[in-house]
């Protein structure tokens, strides 16, 4: 699949982050849970993540600068926007979709241990 939507790569992480929180809070879940999955996925600490949000970096930079992508993220499977996350060929798009999938799982009420692939 050719990179059909590079626009998301240029979007700031800080512009999408509140939407993740809004999505889960509508379902009685918390910002802390969103933060937990982001830290699990990327290896950022809470303060590192907050600094990245303050700097208004792009999605591309957010993932490029991630301290340590969790190897267990490869266990994330399923559909997001009608596409199987495990079949996405473009590496950055796959990382973004992994995060989308984790946020979706929080919003759907999944148990955090299952979301974090424990």
Domain ranges of the chain: 7-112
> Under CATH, which number does the domain 7-112 receive?
1.10.8.290
pLDDT at 14: 96
pLDDT at 2: 45
Q: What angle do CA 68, 97, 28 make, to 5 degrees?
A: 95
Instruction: With cut-offs at 50, 70 and 90, classify the pLDDT of residue 4.
Output: low
Distance CA 63, CA 60 (A): 6
In the structure, how many helices (H) and strands (E) does the chain have? 7, 2
Distance CA 12, CA 56 (A): 6
Two tokens, residue 17: 């982050």
Distance CA 39, CA 72 (A): 13
pLDDT above 90 (res 42)? yes
Question: What is the average per-residue pLDDT within 31-38?
Answer: 98
pLDDT at 5: 58
pLDDT at 1: 39
pLDDT at 3: 46
What is the length of the chain?
118
Q: What is the pLDDT of residues 72-113, one digit of tens each?
A: 999 999 998 899 999 999 999 999 999 999 999 999 999 999
- The pTM (predicted TM-score) of the whole model is 0.92
């Amino acid at each position: 699949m050719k990179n059909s939507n590079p626009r998301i790569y240029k979007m700031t992480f800080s512009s999408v982050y509140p939407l993740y929180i809004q999505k889960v809070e509508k379902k009685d879940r918390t910002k802390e849970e969103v933060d937990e999955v982001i830290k699990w996925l990327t290896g950022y600490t809470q303060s590192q993540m907050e600094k990245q949000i303050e700097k208004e970096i792009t999605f591309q930079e957010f993932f490029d600068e991630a301290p340590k992508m969790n190897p267990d993220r490869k266990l994330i499977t399923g559909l997001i926007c009608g596409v199987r996350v495990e079949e996405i060929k473009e590496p950055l798009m796959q990382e973004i979709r992994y995060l989308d999938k984790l946020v979706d799982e929080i919003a759907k009420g999944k148990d955090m241990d299952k979301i974090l692939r424990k």
